[in-house]
Amino acid sequence: MVRATIKAEPHPLAIDLDRAALIIIDMQRDFLEPGGFGAALGNDVTLLAAAIGPCKAVLDAARARGMLVIHTREGHRPDLSDAPPLKVERGDPAMRIGARGPMGRILIRGEAGHDIIAALYPIDGEPVIDKPGKGAFYQTDLELMLRNRGIETLFVCGVTTEICVNTTVREANDRGFRCIVLSDCCASYFPQFHEIGLAMIKAQGGILGWVSDAASAAAAIYTATAKSGRAA
């Protein structure tokens, strides 16, 4: 057991770092780069770029410690058999899920746009969860992976704050996992939704989890690793 105290809201939190994992939600080209799903829905994708540097800082700390790092990708099978028609039928037909765009078919597994951005690309040994929904637990083997590794706490990063991050945190909370959402490692196309999304998590004594930031999480991870004398 390696105890670490994380500066967080609504209050600092002591956790066992040996039972913590980092999950990075949907940092995919389709959400962060022009020509993808986010842009097809009319969003300004540059608003998500602010999360990349902080995510990388925490990712480096987690990798240095040998912490479990899990990446997720939202997307669908090429035949769309796992995509609810309700989800596909939104927006301009030329720019819907499955339509062909500059980075291949939008939000389809195996296409360039579906992949994770270069700055945060998974390395060997880091599981990538392909999820058909907003929540990372829905129709995936994420819970099984976490239980098999004895994980209790998740550091949560990714996009978008109010959609896939928030949904995943709610799913995790109901399953008994403690979530620490790193505010600057998350982003939204709507800055006000980002703020509200974080506020909803930490309200009422942390009804869904805790909110911290990249510097606090990385510092706690590096400090504990130095003290315990263990790095991967």
Residues marked as catalytic: 26, 131, 164
> Could you give the CA distance from residue 207 to residue 42 in angstroms, rounded to a whole number?
32
Residue 52 binds ligand C5J, judged by CB under 6 A: no
Q: How far is the CB of 223 from ligand C5J (least distance, A)?
A: 31
Closest by CA position to 186, among listed 164, 209, 204: 164
Alpha helices (H) along 66-139: 85-88
* C-beta separation of 210 from 54 below 8 A: no
Binding residues for ligand C5J restricted to 94-133, rule: CB under 6 A: none
> Could you give the CA distance from residue 93 to residue 228 in angstroms, rounded to a whole number?
55
DSSP tag of 100 = E
Residue 216 binds ligand C5J, judged by CB under 6 A: no
Binding residues for ligand C5J restricted to 152-171, rule: CB under 6 A: 159-160, 163-164
Give the residue carrying structure tokens 């990349």. 52
Residue 30 binds ligand C5J, judged by CB under 6 A: no
Closer of 156 and 164 to ligand C5J (Cβ) = 164
Q: How many residues bind ligand C5J (CB under 6 A)?
A: 8
Site string for ligand C5J, 62-101 (x = CB under 6 A): ------------x---------------------------
Residue among 17, 21, 22, 26 that touches ligand C5J (CB under 6 A): 26
> Could you give the CA distance from residue 214 to residue 148 in angstroms, rounded to a whole number?
27
* C-beta separation of 216 from 6 below 8 A: yes
Contact positions vs ligand C5J (CB under 6 A): 26, 31, 74, 134, 159-160, 163-164
